[in-house]
Amino acid sequence: MIALALSAAGCGEGSSDDAGSDSAIVAAFYPLAFAAERVSGDTTRVRNLTPPGVEPHDLELSARDVRTVVDADLVLYLGQGFQPALEDALDSSDAPAIDLLDDLDLLAGTEEEHEGESHGGEEEARDPHVWLDPMRYVAIAERIGAELDRRDAASDLSEELRALDREFRNGLADCERRELVTSHAAFGYLAERYDLEQVALSGLEPEAEPTPRELEEVVEEVREHGATTVFFETLVSPRLAETVAREVEARTATLNPLEGLTPEEIERGADYFSVMRANLAALREALECR
């Protein structure tokens, strides 16, 4: 409804200049924008809908954002209620869009997931964090390559991702511990791929704060695992991780779920690969891998 009203009234802001000239892909957030940029090369303009430093879960869209979505030549997004405002905007427009979770093998959401705002009926949402598994990210790259008819560029990216997968496989093969204590449950696919066990302090969404009782349970679980590191993230407050770490006398370290880059990370040229390699180094240190 809102999107229709906006597109009908959308000529009052004096920004109708570049419409129609070159085609644009709108990517819902950083990992999809990175893949789209790598695959399209400089043949297509790629816009990331989630601004730097902003956490993409439940992204809110401005009127301008909605118009960007409606006018896009192609929108790349993840469904499963990851960004409901975007799904709503797509529902009420006829912009061509691909839900890149569509043909992936998905894991169930976590038990701790809060049930407040279920989106689109009773069905339980699946875990959307597929980009943290390099091999599922290969499938995303190849799907984008097929869609844009840029299969060679996509297979170059896939090759790099397969090399990254091998680095993770080798780097995490022989470790003292295998549990990964994270703030929100973003690392389920990575844990599955490399045979780690994720212990998440909150649910699938970063802002889902645990109740005191849940917190007590998670502290107990972390203690049982003998974990020595509690990871926190770049885009979310470290308060919860620090609380748990203090309780179990563990240290804290950063593990980046790559939901977005901060302006500082962009400034120093970080990208998917450099962040994933920093994650691998942090994991190897925390888990005492040889």
The β-bridge partners of 230 are 181, 252
- In this chain, which stretch among 41-49, 96-104, 184-192, 273-281 interacts with Zn ion, using CB under 5 A? 184-192
> Which residues, 6+ apart, have CB-to-CB distance to 267 below 8 Å?
none
Q: Which of 32, 157, 186, 258 binds Zn ion (CB under 5 A)?
A: 186
> Which residues, 6+ apart, have CB-to-CB distance to 89 below 8 Å?
2, 3, 61, 65, 66, 69, 70
Q: Which residue is nearest to Zn ion (CB)?
A: 186
Nearer to Zn ion, 117 or 149 (CB): 117
We find the least distance from the C-beta atom of residue 193 to Zn ion, in angstroms, to be 17
Nearer to Zn ion, 40 or 48 (CB): 48
Which residue bears the tokens 């901060």?
A: 262
Q: Restricting to residues 38-97, name those near Zn ion by CB under 5 A.
A: none
CA distances from 289 to 48, 176, 192 (A): 36, 6, 17
We find the least distance from the C-beta atom of residue 216 to Zn ion, in angstroms, to be 24
**Site track for Zn ion across 138-177, x = CB under 5 A:** ----------------------------------------
We find the least distance from the C-beta atom of residue 105 to Zn ion, in angstroms, to be 18
Binding-residue total with Zn ion (CB under 5 A): 1
Nearer to Zn ion, 186 or 201 (CB): 186
- Alpha carbon distance 151, 147 (integer Å): 9
In 75-106, which positions are buried (b, 16+ CB within 10 angstroms) versus exposed (e)?
A: bbbbbbbbbbbbbbbbebbebebbbbbeebeb
Nearer to Zn ion, 57 or 143 (CB): 57
Binding site for Zn ion (CB under 5 A): 186
